[in-house]
Structure 1
Amino acid sequence: MSDWNTEAVTGRFVEAARTAHRLPPVRVQGYFNVWPQFVRTEFERMACEEVPMVRFTPSPTEIDRMLEVMGWVQWLEVEERKLLWMRAERYQWREIAKRFGCAERTAQRRWARAMGTITEKLCEGELTEVAGN
């Protein structure tokens, strides 16, 4: 029996999109700051308008799961990859349909077909693993 269904695969895509957003930003190598962090007084902190953004980096397990999802995407065409990723990032169907130049319902059908392809490939992979053991 396979545990993969459309809801499980969709959940993994949403998790991968969230993990990708939590990764540290890419910086140009060779440039770094050797100045120490300033310790501000209480009055300086109250006058400061900018709030420092605290970013929680993903765990290695979350990154591995994200990379696994990125491997699944290789089974699809480029447009299908973009469609799945936009939906995983919680874009509205209207925005997705504008991006691809089609009706909302057509975008939904294309998304369902791409999810079905991935689910089918995952189920086939599990069946070959069971048969091989």
Structure 2
Amino acid sequence: MITPSEIEDRFEEAALTLRRLPNPPGSGARGYGRSWPEYVHEARHAYGYEEAKMRVIPNAREIQRMEEALEWLALVGGDSEQTIIDNRRIVWMRAEGHRWKQICRAVGCARSTAWRRWTAALVTIANRLNKRRKPGARPRAAKSTGDGERGKPDGGGANGPP
């Protein structure tokens, strides 16, 4: 059973993963720009004398979990289309770590209303995800060969027969 706090953690993880994805300059739409590469204005920048930046790029599993969490935003509902958009914005901005004051300014509501919408959205997502799962169904382990003990080698060793 998925709880709203687990949903909150997954959204925070998704926001962190999205922030860690590589986005090099020039990878977006070009628009009305020039096609020439950036010109180096100072000699000290030409040979890599600026501070090195290290980025940890997420692996495929983290990206898959991020995409799954982003699909959960479609489960958030509301009375009108604008309310749905605002509720999704509240959930995502909170996952990115924005303060309530910034969220309230972006959405245009009071802090208590934003918190109530955020909580309701997390509970709604948790309930809809729990309904998708069949009650009583548990994830199965990998199938064994049927020799009794799973994953243990035959014969001696520390856990084997004396």
State the TM-score, normalizing by the size of structure 1: 0.77
Trace 1:3-42 onto structure 2 (pairs within 5 A).
4-25=2-23, 27-28=27-28
Partner of 1:52: 52
Instruction: Find the aligned partners of 1:67 and 1:75 in 2 and give their Cα distance.
Output: 14
1:129, distance to aligned residue in structure 2 (A) = 8.5
Partner of 1:36: none
Instruction: Find the aligned partners of 1:32 and 1:83 in 2 and give their Cα distance.
Output: 40
Partner of 1:117: 124
Partner of 2:70: 70
Bigger radius of gyration, 1 or 2?
A: 2
Instruction: From the superposition, tell whether residues 100 and 28 of structure 1 become closer, same or farther in structure 2 (CA, over 3 Å).
Output: closer
Q: Which among 110, 114, 118 is matched to residue 103 of structure 1?
A: 110
Trace 1:82-97 onto structure 2 (pairs within 5 A).
82-97=89-104
Aligned residues: 116
Q: Counterpart of 1:120 in structure 2: which amino acid?
A: N
Instruction: Find the aligned partners of 2:123 and 2:23 in 1 and give their Cα distance.
Output: 33
Aligned partner of residue 56 in structure 1, secondary structure = coil
- Between Structure 1 and Structure 2, which shows a larger proportion of helix residues? 1
Instruction: From the superposition, tell whether residues 124 and 59 of structure 1 become closer, same or farther in structure 2 (CA, over 3 Å).
Output: same
Instruction: Find the aligned partners of 2:85 and 2:126 in 1 and give their Cα distance.
Output: 18
1:19, distance to aligned residue in structure 2 (A) = 0.0
Identity %: 34
1:127, distance to aligned residue in structure 2 (A) = 2.6
1:99, distance to aligned residue in structure 2 (A) = 1.1
| Aligned-pair Cα RMSD in Å | 2.5
Q: Which runs of 5+ in 1 are unaligned?
A: 34-39
Q: Which consecutive aligned stretches of 4+ in structure 1 deviate over 3 angstroms post-superposition?
A: 28-33
Q: 1 or 2 for the larger relative contact order (CA 8 Å, sep ≥6)? A: 1
Instruction: From the superposition, tell whether residues 79 and 128 of structure 1 become closer, same or farther in structure 2 (CA, over 3 Å).
Output: farther
Q: Counterpart of 2:96 in structure 1: which amino acid?
A: E
Instruction: Find the aligned partners of 1:129 and 1:74 in 2 and give their Cα distance.
Output: 26
Q: Which runs of 5+ in 2 are unaligned?
A: 38-43, 77-83, 138-162
1:80, distance to aligned residue in structure 2 (A) = 1.5
1:53, distance to aligned residue in structure 2 (A) = 1.7
Instruction: Find the aligned partners of 1:8 and 1:66 in 2 and give their Cα distance.
Output: 14
